[in-house]
Amino acid sequence: MKSIPQKLGISFFVVLFAFFPLTDTDVWWHLASAREFFRSGLPIRDPFCWAPSKTPWVNIHLFFQMTIYGVYRAFGTDGLVAFKSLLWGVVAFLWLLPVSKKFNSCGIFFAVLFAFLLRYSLECRPVLFSLFFLGVFWNLLPMLSKKLSVRWVICAGILLLMEWFWCRSQGLFALGWAISFLFVAVNWKMIPLAGRLRFLIFAVLLLIIPLLHRQGFLVWAYPFPLLNRLMGVTSDASIFASQISENRSPFTLLFNEENVVAMGTLLVAAFASIAFSMRAFLGCFRSGEWQGFWRYAWLFIAAILALVAERNAVLLLFPFISLIFQNENQLICAENRMGTISFTALIAFVLGFWIKSLFAYISPNGFESFAEARVPKNAVEFMKSHPLPANRRLFNDDRSGGYIEWSFPGIKTYADGRFILKDSSFFAGYLGFASSPESFLIFAQEMNVGRVLLPLRYFSIWNPLVAELSANPLWKRVYIDPFYVVFDGKILNRP
């Protein structure tokens, strides 16, 4: 209990670091999906894109979408920023709660530093719910190794209920299975026979929970193609894992000199986690005491996932911060008055950088609750006042798609962030348009594309296509701002 104020303090820093505008563009198609659900229920076919999509569509993120839609309806984008910041703070506290040691200034500094350097991952995304649910498992699983009691039944019931909500919040709900089975495997020999039977019953119930949802079997099977996309086993998954930016390895991003500080920090955290895990394994092997090893085994798994894809950084951040306090003796610590003063000064320095970063989010109209430079806000307003003829289609990049679907529901998009609905032929063509613009001109004529919306900043892969359309006499630039450009096929201007 003595460390509760310190845990709350670190969680407070996480709340501060998560307080930045909505920069992840997927939030918009999540909001559009919730709106579609309240209008029409769960559609089987993709309701947003005109490009071919796999069927049936399993909207695995429904509960996440309903939650943020409710927050948005009540408080707007300002409310979404506040909601995700506060919930990330709750997540941090959940992961820190099992730590029994009193934190020293060294550990606090490193926890705050890593949270600050990886703060970009504290987005309003479904993984926020996954980390919350994992945090509940992180705390309650040890209770299931106790004797049967009312407390045991309550803990098991809470975990099963969390899994039920998780199954319709993000495809990572299989991590609930993984962390539970890992805990059971590590503690199997220490659990009495009656306890093992209860664990087996709990495990079976955990596995069948997804079947209780509508589209139950499809929900149950959802994590497997997701794992395929992460590891790049099949052809479409290979493209997805190697060429979609957030799914690339931190090694790739570092070698390309992208997000160097963040990727360097992530690699340090990953390799330190592997080292901590191996040290814990050797210690348990020598002593024969394996009871607490499951947490280090989970840290090892999170480190491997983070090394595979940059988007998994947030899966590592909180277990790493939690277990760093169990390894403070391996850090250079100075637990005296001067050491405390020094580390306090360093935290103040980090906090100063955070305060300075806030000014980037302030415009003449006040705090920007979402990054307008990353979505085609003004371009969509132009398209609303200059609509396409019904027989013409819009081509757009995936990061624009979600915002168009949310802000302009009367128009179908070519792509959005739901890449799991697409196959290898889609990926090959889509990415080919960016690298070989001439292929797009043929595609546009075949598919009756009459309008193109592309980004000018942040997503530079589309620069060659922008240049090609600008020089092509069959296409006319009808709108441009510092961030987005719109082209219309000249055929639209014919009588």
Q: Within 10 Å of residue 253's Cβ, how many Cβ atoms?
A: 18
- Strand, helix or coil for residue 192: coil
Could you tell me which of 443, 437, 440 has the C-alpha nearest to residue 468? 437
Question: Can you tell me the distance from the alpha carbon of 395 to that of 402, in angstroms, rounded to the nearest whole number?
Answer: 13
The tens digit of pLDDT for each residue in 106-157 reads 778 788 888 888 888 999 999 999 999 999 999 999 998 888 889 999 999 9
At 428-472, the pLDDT tens digits run 888 889 889 999 999 999 999 999 999 998 777 899 999 999 999
Can you state the percent helix, strand and coil of the chain, rounding each to 5?
70, 5, 25
Domain segments of the chain as ranges: 222-333, 372-493
SS3 244: coil
Tokens of 116: 């600050």
pLDDT band at residue 492 under the 50/70/90 scheme: very low
Tens-digit pLDDT profile for residues 397-412:
999 999 999 999 989 9
Question: 424-435 and 463-471 helices cross at what angle (nearest 10)?
Answer: 60
Q: Are residues 319 and 208 in contact, defined by beta-carbon separation less than 8 angstroms? A: no
Q: Classify domain 372-493 by CATH number.
A: 3.40.50
Residue 43 has pLDDT above 70, yes or no: yes
pLDDT at residue number 18: 93
For residue 451, the tally of other CB atoms under 10 A from its CB is: 24
Alpha helix positions (H), 386-423: 398-407
Is residue 241 over pLDDT 70? no
* Residues 6 or more apart in contact with residue 245 via CB below 8 angstroms: 310
Q: What pLDDT is attached to residue 338?
A: 47
* Beta bridge partners of residue 488, listed in sequence order: 451, 476
Question: Confidence class of residue 178 from pLDDT cuts 50, 70 and 90?
Answer: very high
pTM of the complete model: 0.91
Q: How far is CA 72 from the centre of its chain?
A: 19
**DSSP summary character for residue 22:** B
CB under 8 Å to 53, separation ≥6 — which residues? 45, 46, 418, 421, 422
339 pLDDT above the threshold of 80 = no
Mean pLDDT comparison of 196-200, 399-403, 419-423, 487-491, highest-scoring range: 399-403
Strands (E), 298-448: 362-363, 366-367, 393-396
